[in-house]
């Protein structure tokens, strides 16, 4: 399992359980006992924070088209850009273990940032994530 597999599973979950309002997510898979805090990059935390507390603009890049291409390698973009204003932002972590029930933990960006700030350790355990997050069973 890799993060793109998590993306597929989480996408299917969201399609069958749509949120009541818009939300944004950063997905992380952890195959060990703890997720290093630095796996969520500073620019990702900054964007999640902006989405949640202010506004965030992003231009979607157009997929490359080369002369003679008969098919596109990427899905067509739904639109050119977006601006999100005060949208709840989350980090979704999957502490993956083979042949175990799939449990994703959805943590608000604020709670993640607070945990990272107050913790002496450099990583978040599953138990820590469960204390501050909401479980999603697949």
pLDDT tens-digit map of 31-83: 999 999 999 999 999 999 999 999 999 998 876 666 666 665 667 778 899 99
Per-residue model confidence as pLDDT tens digits over 69-96: 666 566 777 889 999 999 999 999 999 9
Q: Which residues contact 28 (CB under 8 A, 6 or more apart)?
A: 3, 35, 39, 40, 91, 92, 93, 94
Residue in the structure block whose two tokens are 């601006």: 83
The enclosing domain of 109 has a CATH number of 3.40.1350
* Mean of the per-residue pLDDT values of the chain: 92
- Residue range(s) defining the domain that contains residue 117: 3-17+24-137
What's the pLDDT at 137?
Answer: 87
What are the contacts of 121-124 at 24+ separation with CB within 8 A? 121/34, 122/36, 122/37, 122/38, 123/34, 123/35, 123/36, 123/37, 124/34, 124/35, 124/37, 124/93
Q: How many domains does the chain have?
A: 1
């Amino acid at each position: 399992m890799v993060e793109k597999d998590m993306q597929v599973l989480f996408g299917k979950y969201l399609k069958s359980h749509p949120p009541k309002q818009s939300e944004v997510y950063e997905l992380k898979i952890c195959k060990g006992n703890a997720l290093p805090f630095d796996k969520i990059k500073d620019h990702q935390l900054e964007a999640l924070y902006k989405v949640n507390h202010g506004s965030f603009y992003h231009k979607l890049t157009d997929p490359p088209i080369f002369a003679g291409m008969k098919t596109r390698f990427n899905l067509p973009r739904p639109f050119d850009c977006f601006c999100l204003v005060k949208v709840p932002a989350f980090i979704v972590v999957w502490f993956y273990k083979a042949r175990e029930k799939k449990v994703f933990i959805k943590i608000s960006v604020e709670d993640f940032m607070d945990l990272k700030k107050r913790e002496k350790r450099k990583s978040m355990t599953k138990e820590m994530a469960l204390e501050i997050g909401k479980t999603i069973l697949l």
